[in-house]
A = this chain, B = another copy of it.
Amino acid sequence: MYEVLVAESFEAAHRLVGDFGPATRVHGHTYRVEVAVRGERLGDDGTLYDLGKLGENVKGLAAELHYRNLDEVEGLAGKNTTAEAVADFVWERLAKTLAGSGLSSLTVRVWENPNACAAREDRLPG
């Protein structure tokens, strides 16, 4: 099994609703998002999936979230913007681009800081 992974950062504000103590105050993070795809075979060009192309996709998504309040971003507004929810948001967006590419699974990992992250990992539609 092969995997390729790219990472990007963005800086954004958010707050949680519920029993989350100081995290219910508006605050922010330098988020790091790691995106990994998996598959069984390399192509004739020696890649599973072009790192540069995957990097451009992730860079675009990170740019959309940079210097934003996540609680106001379409697709996140109205939800609790936990790291899990942000991973979900990125996963759904990238899965649309990657479906049908022959890759078997997609993992999106969202770090709020170097000591805390959430991830979603699921199979990609064929």
Indicate if A18 sits at the interface (CB-CB under 8 A). yes
Q: Is the CB of A117 within 8 A of B5?
A: yes
Q: Is the CB of A4 within 8 A of B48?
A: no
Q: Is the CB of B122 within 8 A of A48?
A: no
Q: Is the CB of A79 within 8 A of B46?
A: yes
Q: Is the CB of B50 within 8 A of A6?
A: no
Indicate if A52 sits at the interface (CB-CB under 8 A). yes
Indicate if A45 sits at the interface (CB-CB under 8 A). yes
Q: Is the CB of B3 within 8 A of A112?
A: no
Residues 1 to 48 of chain A near chain B (Cβ within 8 Å): 1-8, 16-21, 23, 42, 45-48
Once A46-B79, A79-B46 are accepted as A-B contacts, the answer to whether A4 and B84 lie under 8 Å apart by CB is yes
Q: Is the CB of B45 within 8 A of A80?
A: yes
Indicate if A65 sits at the interface (CB-CB under 8 A). no
Q: Is the CB of A8 within 8 A of B46?
A: no
Given A3-B109, A5-B119, A47-B84, 18 further pairs, Cβ under 8 A: A1-B120, A1-B122, A2-B84, A2-B119, A3-B119, A3-B121, A6-B115, A6-B116, A7-B115, A17-B45, A19-B45, A46-B81, A46-B82, A46-B84, A46-B85, A47-B80, A47-B82, A48-B118
